[in-house]
Amino acid sequence: MRKIGILTLVFSLSVLNVWSQLYSRQMLQMTDLNPHFRGARYSGVSGAFSAIGPDLSSVTDNPAGIALIKSSQFSFTAGGMVHQSNSTYMNSTAVADRLGVPTFNAIGFGVTTEGSHRWSVGLTLNRLADYNQSLTFSGFNPMNSMAASHAITATEITNSLGLPPDGISDSNAPFEVTNAYLGWLVNWDSTSNSYQAPASDSVYQNGRYESRGGFYEAAMSLGRSYLSDRVHVGFSVGIPFMNHKNRLIFNEEEGSSTDRGLYRSEQRTRVQNEGFGINAKFGIVLKPVDGVRLAAAVHSPTRMFITENYNAKITSYVDTPVTPSSGFCLPCEEESPRGVYEYSMRMPWRANVGLGFVIDRVGFLSMQYEWTGLNEVQYFFGSGFGELGREINKDIAETYRNTHNVRLGVELAPGPLRFRAGAHATSSPLASEEINGLFWKHGISGGFGVVGKNMALDFSYVQNRQNQRDMPYENFGEASPQVISENTQHYVGVTLSMRLQ
């Protein structure tokens, strides 16, 4: 994913629109939290735990869950993931698999007093999202090229800022565009008063996205039980933190027979985001009658503070000058400096409600609904970038809509054994009705466990399916090329939990 260079001036609206699309897609990745990496009991029922408890993973959804524990406990969860993708690009398909390394998913510690009017305190650390993914794509593009996109961007910047033909630099243009200019992929044409590329269309293209990292949340929860164990309330303060590495390797090669010379190039873009934030959550669980539980929780927006490191490199092969005055090299290699940029973002409000039916020594049935105010996410940049922030936030409000998540789960408890199953579905975040139906996320889960006097061992499996849309580069005036991928993730987890009193 391409990023902003070291901005010192405000670009025209058309150039700002490019950055708004890039940052809005980043927002979508960061807000896509899921329940699949937490405790195995919780994951085995697809996270339908807001009304159930007591499970230390459930306090991430509803902090009132900490008030349901009746003895102090400790739990630790580890897991792994296999990611499969099937991508379509320019009517061509590609398949990629990635085996995730074993990961730490969750650790929790809860302490409670005795009686029906208990105070409870919980300390938890949960993995809320996993960014480990690989995606490959390839195809013949008859409409446009990456090089032509850089030429158009360079022309827009030159015209909007009143620069001379040799005025493109890292201080006023994205790193990729500057590299393309220095590497002879874009050259000034005095006849048209614009930058031109060696191949404007009819190119063979292939690429690979690689993503690494995760999103975690450390939280402290405080809970209290009232009215003879009929009412449970909880409050938590969370400190989320994330590390997200993205890399795009993109190649294109001239594929037409027109007399423009041999051309091929490779672009590498690396972006690493690191950040932390703070949020608050409030929840309640009611037991109006024996065996029935009602729950509700509200999550405040998380304010994230992010530091971004990024750089880009282009290797180009152009053996025929584009214009009589231009040069050529075989190959040209241009690499940007490392850019560092700091900003913040306000993540969405969230709320959930739950309904559970619990029968002692038999099991439970649980349902949960969650709402996420996705189109209210906002970025905040430093002074001098107000127009950039307004354009990005406007694009988010127009492109995305609030999402709805439904989870169902069941657990059977014959003796010391536990058997679990679940299902979940999340509506598409895209506001466009034409493609909205393609981007629903859904999956199934299952698991089992063994419970002893003071210890339990649980296992879970979750399969998640989701379509994804990516654009390797933006193109002015025409539709940008899109990679549509069908992604399937397989998660496995194991949790060891111990009762401490």
pLDDT digits (tens, 9 = 90+) for 234-278: 999 999 999 988 899 999 998 765 544 568 899 999 989 999 999
pLDDT digits (tens, 9 = 90+) for 133-190: 888 899 999 888 999 888 988 888 888 888 888 888 888 888 888 898 888 888 888 8
262 vs 481, more confident: 481
Chain length of the chain? 501
In Å, how far are 26, 80, 269, 318, 381 from 272, measured between CA atoms? 11, 23, 10, 31, 17
Contact 67, 234 (CB under 8 A): yes
Residue 351, token pair as written in the block: 């709320």
- Mean pLDDT, range 68-72, rounded to an integer: 89
Picking from 324, 478, 419, the residue whose alpha carbon sits closest to that of residue 40 is 419
- Mean pLDDT, range 201-229, rounded to an integer: 91
Question: How many C-beta neighbours within 10 Å does residue 132 have?
Answer: 18
Which position has the token pair 């405080």?
Answer: 222
Indicate the class that CATH gives domain 32-142+218-242+276-302+347-501.
mainly beta
Query: Strands, E, within 55-102: which ranges?
Result: 73-89, 92-99
144 vs 444, more confident: 444
- Mean pLDDT, range 393-409, rounded to an integer: 90
pLDDT at 229 (0 to 100): 86
Domain extent listing, the chain = 32-142+218-242+276-302+347-501
**158, HSE (Cβ side, Cα atoms, 13 Å):** 22
pLDDT at 258 (0 to 100): 53
Mean pLDDT over the full length of the chain: 85
pLDDT digits (tens, 9 = 90+) for 290-334: 999 999 999 999 999 999 998 999 998 876 555 555 556 667 888
How many whole angstroms separate alpha carbon 383 and alpha carbon 379? 13
pLDDT digits (tens, 9 = 90+) for 78-122: 988 888 888 888 887 766 666 666 778 899 999 998 877 889 999
Predicted model pTM? 0.86
Contact 482, 25 (CB under 8 A): no
pLDDT at 497 (0 to 100): 93
Q: Is residue 77 scored above 90 in pLDDT?
A: yes
